[in-house]
Structure 1
Amino acid sequence: MMMMALAGPAWAQGAVQRADPSCKGVAVEWPADLKAWGLTTVPVTAATASAAAPALTPGTPVRVTLAPKSGVTLATTPPKPAAESTYAGIVSFTVPAAGPYRIALDTGAWVDVVANGTAVESTSHKHGPNCSGIHKVVDFGLAAGTYQLQLSNSPVPAVTVLVVPPQG
């Protein structure tokens, strides 16, 4: 798997993106792979342990309710320590065929894709399209199988998530 270098701290998973006041009333030009972001979200409550993780459907945006970090047991420890008063949770998703998958979030929560108790290395991190409400997008090269999506170090108790399947 090829690793792409991060362009700098602004592209790192924990980077904070401020709301841009110039976005008020601006129509977003959605890239094809992120058009589903604008659909109605499905509410999901994240599990506090990996065995009970509810399943997400790739291509469907979900609003994931998280729990206080102190009550969550993650399958793998994220490399970035969680700050006090943050939220975490675990959901799962199934990949029917190998390919590049993206995880889009509306906040700066830490994202780990976990297979068999081991975090899968991401291939890139970036911000979402300007004025889209997408805080960040993290890319992963995934094989067919079922994965856990760990969200941690979230400053808010609910996060919008879109697992983007390969395009084309």
Structure 2
Amino acid sequence: MRPLAHFSSLALALSLMGASPAFADDGACRNFKWDLAREQAWFQASPPSLTSGATLAKTEGAAALQLSPVDGLAFVVAPEHKPAVATFGAIISTPALDKPAVYQVTLSDEGWIDVIQDGTAIRSGAFSGQKGCPGLRKSVRFDLKPGPVTIQISGVKAQTINVALGPAD
């Protein structure tokens, strides 16, 4: 190997070793329909751990959910998509929203999201998902009114998942 080619290969290898997983796969992470840099930062900042039945501390932020087997959960409303056998889920609440707004719920991995207000499932307004983006899988937008919200996560293959809630930009 020529000395200059060896130096170039070494520089490339060193630059790749220092790259973060998100940077290493920047292409997939940039293909969401809207910017999820805020959610990605929340997930990378070690969000607080919550279990099913808990309430988020605020209406903007993330949590690391410790999930339960879906067959043992009492969903407020049956999930729109029946969860597969031997998958996991959680039911969490939010503090009351102050004003009507479009909110997005973002997951770090594969799973189904149902949002409920006043005992009724809210239809999603928009969806964006990408496979291959480390730590971000999907984001779903919902038009919500003031008041508390229940978020149901189901169909997750792992026992933990990060979830983020925040107003859409």
Secondary structure of the structure 2 residue equivalent to 1:57: coil
Identity of aligned residues (%): 21
- Per-residue CA shift, 1:9-44, capped at 9, x if unaligned? xxxxxxxxxxxxx96635666966642431321111
Secondary structure of the structure 2 residue equivalent to 1:102: strand
Contact 1:36 1:59 in 2 (8 A): no
- Per-residue CA shift, 1:42-84, capped at 9, x if unaligned? 111112xxxxx42342331210111011210000011211111
Q: TM-score, normalised by structure 1?
A: 0.73
Q: CA deviation at 1:165?
A: 1.5
Q: CA deviation at 1:134?
A: 1.1
Q: Flag structure 2 segments of 5+ consecutive residues without an equivalent.
A: 1-20
Secondary structure of the structure 2 residue equivalent to 1:61: strand
Pair 1:33–1:130, CA change in 2 (3 A):
same
Q: Which residue of 1 aligns with 2:16?
A: none
Q: TM-score, normalised by structure 2?
A: 0.72
- Per-residue CA shift, 1:130-153, capped at 9, x if unaligned? 735210010101111101000111
Distance in 2 (alpha carbons) for counterparts of 1:26 and 1:78: 32
Q: Flag structure 1 segments of 5+ consecutive residues without an equivalent.
A: 1-21, 48-52
Equivalenced residue count is: 141
Which structure's residues are more often helix, by fraction? 2
Equivalent AA in structure 1 for residue 48 of structure 2: V
